[in-house]
Amino acid sequence: MKTKISVVLLIFLVLFSFVCIEKKIFYENLYPRKYSEYVSKYSKEFNIDENLVYSVIKAESKFIEDAVSHKGAKGLMQISDITRDWAIEELNLGEIDIFNPETNIKIGCWYLNKLFKEFGDLNLVIAAYNGGSGNVRKWLGDKAYSEDGKSLDIIPFEETSNYLKKVTKNYENYNEIYKREEKD
């Protein structure tokens, strides 16, 4: 009888381990860390959480290097031409290929850093990355969207509101999947 219980317990443990491993692999495929050498390098250089960068890339391009939005934003982090030109000037980049993953991630991290310096709040940074910093400043100054002038109660652009939810959810999931293994 003890042998049967031991065998059943062993089978249960093996199956449970398999399910846990498969679940981890499943989630890591759903929330990949592609281009990690560039994300790591530029998130450190510009003091941005790596998981936030992955969350933005997943929301913006689903890790497709040559993605172009309906508004003309380009690459992994969907850099607009205006932001590209600003970064070229500020970072002294010269001639660049915005679809190059390293260049795109560098500019995206630089821009996220600029937004953090301006707003200092993750939700405002994410909203500004999508909806524009000028719009976020305008919304913060309007009692219809911000009662305290420091956070947004309502985001009037549905696309930006949905984007904030998507990136926030990605960020929560990246932190859940990858922060745990970093602590081990």
Q: Catalytic residue at 176?
A: no
Residues 6 or more apart from 47 whose CB is under 8 A from it? 113, 116
How far is Cα 58 from Cα 69, in angstroms, rounded to an integer? 14
Residue 171: strand pairing partners: none
Q: What confidence score (pLDDT) does residue 9 get? A: 56
Average pLDDT, the chain: 90
**Catalytic pick among 60, 158, 181, 182:** 60
Give yes or no for residue 14 having a pLDDT over 60.
no
Convert the pLDDT of each residue in 15-48 to its tens digit. 555 555 577 788 888 999 999 999 999 999 999 9
Average pLDDT, integer, range 131-150: 97
Convert the pLDDT of each residue in 73-130 to its tens digit. 999 999 999 999 999 999 999 999 999 999 999 999 999 999 999 999 999 999 999 9
pTM, 2 dp: 0.86
Average pLDDT, integer, range 63-76: 96
Using alpha carbons only, give the angle 16, 175, 160 rounded to the nearest 5 degrees: 125
Q: Looking at per-residue confidence, does 11 or 3 come out higher?
A: 3
Three-state helix/strand/coil letters over 109-133: HHHHHHHHHHHCCHHHHHHHHHHCH
